[in-house]
Amino acid sequence: MTRGLNKVMIIGRLGRDPEMRYTPNGRPVTAFSVAVNRMWTAGDGDRREETEWFNVVAWGNLAEICKQHLRKGQIVYIEGRLQTRGWEDQDGKKHYRTEIVANEMIMLSDKHEGGEDLLGEAASAEEEKFPF
């Protein structure tokens, strides 16, 4: 069997403060969004810009670090894998969400409470087995 590759790397700004919750077995999970801007010059010479939004999820120790250190507007590097999950709502309608499951995070700006310089501070997910 051929081995596949699922790796994503983004640099962008946090669109909202991270939200942390706990699974029924007590495992922390933190979710936040990251906006990544792309600029290019169109054929007519006009400069264009587009923003792509990514939903990010971090688990375990990395979830706690993201909740503690990240704030809306901060520039961050996220590395992880893409995952699409699906669920059915109360009306039986199917929903799908594609998100980045982070395994590494590096803070690239110093927008932190207390004015601490966090430029380049990194955090990685510990080797964990995911429940899915």
Predicted pLDDT of residue 2: 87
All domains of the chain in start order, with CATH: 8-36+48-124 (2.40.50.140)
Cα 77 to the chain's mean position, in Å?
Answer: 9
What's the rounded mean pLDDT across residues 106-118?
62
pTM equals: 0.79
pLDDT band at 11 (very low <50, low <70, confident <90, very high): very high
What's the rounded mean pLDDT across residues 106-114?
69
Residue type, 109: S
pLDDT of 132 > 60? The answer is no
Contacts 24+ apart (CB under 8 A), 15-20: 15/53, 15/72, 16/72, 17/70, 17/71, 17/72, 18/58, 18/66, 18/67, 18/70, 19/67, 20/63, 20/64, 20/66, 20/67
pLDDT of 97 > 50? The answer is yes
